[in-house]
Amino acid sequence: MGLDIRWPIGLMFTLLGVLLIGYGVVKSAASFSLGININLIWGVVLLVFGVGMLIGAIRGNKKNPPSA
């Protein structure tokens, strides 16, 4: 079966990470807690996780070519 759950998870987390990074940069004064920009940090975390899932999905497709 050609369904790999890493594709939609990777796309979702990458998109959310990019949006949260953008929000953290634009609204930086409102999103500080104890001097830390929480939105920016968690946006980077989500982006790294999403890109990791996408890389895993790409590598998984190369190792297991679809059989006919």
CA max distance for the chain = 57
pLDDT digits (tens, 9 = 90+) for 45-64: 999 999 999 999 988 877 65
DSSP 8-state class, residue 65: P
- Mean pLDDT over 29-54 rounds to 87
pTM across the whole model: 0.80
SS3 51: helix
